[in-house]
Amino acid sequence: MKTKFTYLMAAFLCLILASCSTNEPPFTLSQNSFTDVPPEGKSLSLDIHTSGEWTATSLNKDWCSVTPSKGTGDATIQIEVMGNISNDRTGTVAIYCNGTQTNIDIVQKAVPAGQELTYRIPVIFHVLYKDKSDPLQYIDTRLIQQVLANVNQYYDGHTIAAGGDAGQDINLDFYLPETDEAGNQLDTPGVEYISWNEMPIDCESFMESSNSKILNLLWDMNKYINVMLYNFAEVDGGTILGISHLPLSVQGQNYLEGLTAVEYDRLENSNLNYPHCVSINSLYFNQYTPEGQYNSADANVTLAHELGHYLGLHHAFNEGDDPNADSDYCTDTKPYNRSIYQNTTMVEAYRAYMESKNMEDLLPGFLRVNSLDPDDVFTSYNLMDYEISYADRFTPNQRERMRHVLEYSPLIPGPKRTASTRSVAPQGVLDIPIIYKVCYKH
C-alpha cells in the first residue's frame, strides 16, 4: 500500500509540473542573429512574440544599443549598431523571457582598408525660451531643419561663391534624431523646448557654469552634439553670434596639436563640470544672406563655423600674442593680422557698403594680406574666418583635423580608433580646462 501511494504522489507531482510548464507563455523571436551588418552601422529590428514580460540587454553597449529595454507582450525592439572603423567584431543582445536567456548574435565587418566611414551624427537643439510668443526665443522647428540642411551642404563641400579652391567633403552628415535618449518619440525631431526664467543669458557664463540645472540639459555627449539656442546678452557692448567648446584629445601618439590633452580615451558627461556644447544666439537664428547681398550674421554660416570649432578647428586668422603666427595648425589656411585688417580694410569697405548697399564697394573687404608673405593678397573663403568673408568652405588640412577628432576624441559621437572597444570612463569630475571659441558680429 505504501509503495502504491508513493507512485500516486509521483504521478501527481509530474502532472503539476507539466501543468506549470505549459502555463509559461510561448516565446519566439523573428530571428536569432544578424550576420551582415555593414561597416557604416545599421538600425536593426527584432520582433518579440510573447504574452509575458521580457527584457533586452546589449552586452556591447559601447557600439550597440537596444530600445526599448523591457516590456510585456509582443513588441519590436530596435538594435542600433554604430559604424565600425577598427576591426571585424561580434556582439550579443541578450533577451530574457520565461526565466531563460536567448542570445542574438550581431556580426559586423570593419570599413575596408583605404576606405572612409561616413559619420552620421545626431544634433539635439535645446531651445531655451522665456516668452513662447516671441519667435526669436521659441525658434520654429522648420527653421532649425532648414539651417541644419544648409550646414550639411557646407560639410558636403558645396560652395556658393565663385573662385577659390574647391570645398572639402568631410564625409559627415548631421541629422535631427527622431527619439530621445530613452527611445521615446520626440514631438519635434531633434528639438526640445525648455522654459527658462532668465533671458537674455550671458553666453560665456553659461559655457563656464557648473550649475546642475545647466549641466542636466545636456544629452549624452558620446551620442549627440548638444546645441543650445537662446538670446545672448550683450557683452562689453558687443554682440556674440555663437560660442563653442573645443574638443579634447587623448595624450600620446594620437594627440592632436592645439587641443587640451586628456589621459582617457573614454569620458562621460559626469566627468565634466561644465556644459561642453555649442551655443547659438537665437536673436540672429533667422538671418540668412539674400542673393547679391552680404550678411555677417547669417545663421547658416554661424552654426557651420561653431560646429567646426566643436570638431577641432581654430579660427583661420592669427590668434595669440604673435599677430604674425599661424595659430590654427593648418598650413593651407593663410594667416593674416586681424587687428590691422579690422582697423583699415574692413572698416573702410563695410562703411562704404552700408552707405551704398552696392556689393562692389564691399569687395576690398574680402581681401587679406598673408602675414607670412606681404606680397600675397588673397580672398577669404574660409568658414573659420569671419569679418567680411565668403565663408563657404573648408581646406584639406581642416578636413584632416575634423576627421581626426571624429575618429579619436572622447565625447564626440561616432566610432573611434581606440585600442580597446571596451574602454571605461573614470569616476568623478576631472580637472579639465574650459576652452571655448567666440564668434562676434561686426
* Residue pair 308/289 in contact by the 8 Å Cβ criterion: no
Residue 17: what pLDDT?
45
Q: Is 189 within the bounds of a domain? A: yes
CA angle 342, 345, 351 (to 5 degrees): 90
What DSSP line would sit under 313-354, residue for residue?
A: PPPSS--SS-TTS--SS-TTS--B-HHHHIIIIIHHHHHHHH
Query: What's the pLDDT score for residue 424?
Result: 82
Q: Please tell me whether residues 134 and 74 are part of one structural domain.
A: no
Give the CATH number, domain containing residue 38: 2.60.40.10
Same domain, 150 and 230: yes
pLDDT digits over 5-21, tens only? 455 555 554 444 444 44
| Domain termination site, one of 77, 108, 139 | 108
| Residues 230 and 345 grouped into a single domain | yes
On whether residue 15 sits in a domain, the answer given is no
CA atoms within a 13 Å half-sphere pointing along the CA-CB vector of 10: 6
* Cα–Cα distance, 58 to 41 (Å, whole number): 15
**pLDDT at residue 19, as a whole number:** 42
Residues 291 and 166 in one domain: yes
Q: Give the model's pLDDT for residue 13.
A: 47
pTM of the model: 0.89
Mean pLDDT of 269-298: 95
Indicate if 158 and 271 belong to the same structural domain.
yes
pLDDT at 323: 64
Q: Is residue 3 part of a domain?
A: no
Q: What is the mean pLDDT of residues 341-366?
A: 93
Name the nearest CA neighbour of 194 among 124, 97, 241, 273. 124
Q: What percent of the chain has pLDDT over 70?
A: 92
Task: Assess whether 231 and 355 both reside in one domain.
Answer: yes
What confidence score (pLDDT) does residue 20 get?
43
What local confidence, expressed as pLDDT, does residue 15 receive? 44
CATH code (residue 207): 3.40.390.10
Both 72 and 130 in one domain: the answer is no
The residue range of the domain holding 405 is 119-440
Categorise residue 73: left if φ over 0, alpha if ψ from -120 to 50, beta otherwise.
Answer: left
Q: Is the pLDDT of residue 2 over 70?
A: no
**End position of a domain, from candidates 79, 108, 137:** 108
The predicted pLDDT at position 411 comes to 97
Q: How does pLDDT run across 122-160, given as a tens digit for each residue?
A: 999 999 999 999 999 999 999 999 999 999 999 999 999
The average confidence (pLDDT) of the chain is: 91
Q: Is residue 9 domain-resident? A: no
